[in-house]
Amino acid sequence: MSDGDVTFMTLAHDHVAAMGAVILTIIVASFAPSALSRGAYTGEPTTKEDANETAFTASKEMIHGRLAMLAILAEVVLEMTQ
C-alpha cells in the first residue's frame, strides 16, 4: 500500500485501540472542568470569574465549536469523495 492509499477509515480500522484511547481522552477532558471544580467554576465558560478578560468567552467558544464541526464535516466529505 502506498502513502496515497491511506485514509482515515483505514487508519481507524487498523488501530482500534489508539482510536479508543483518543475518544476516551476527549470524553474525559470534556467532563474534567465540571468534575474537578472546587468552586463555582464549571465547564460553562460564563461561570469563570474573569470570563470577560480572557480569550475564552462564551461567544468565542461557540464560534470555535462551530468551526471545529465544519472542519470535521469537511474531513468526512473529503474521505467519502476519495
pLDDT digits (tens, 9 = 90+) for 32-69: 777 776 666 666 666 666 655 666 677 788 888 999 99
Is residue 78 very low, low, confident or very high in pLDDT (cuts 50, 70, 90)? confident
Residue with cell 467532563: 31
Q: Which domain holds residue 75?
A: 3-81
| Interacting residues of 43 by C-beta distance below 8 A, sequence separation 6+ | 30, 31, 33, 34
pLDDT of amino acid 72:
93
pLDDT of amino acid 1:
46
Mean pLDDT score, 4-22: 83
pLDDT of 3 higher than 70: no
What total of structural domains would you count in the chain? 1
Which ranges constitute the DSSP H helices of the chain? Answer: 8-14, 16-36, 58-81
pLDDT of amino acid 49:
66
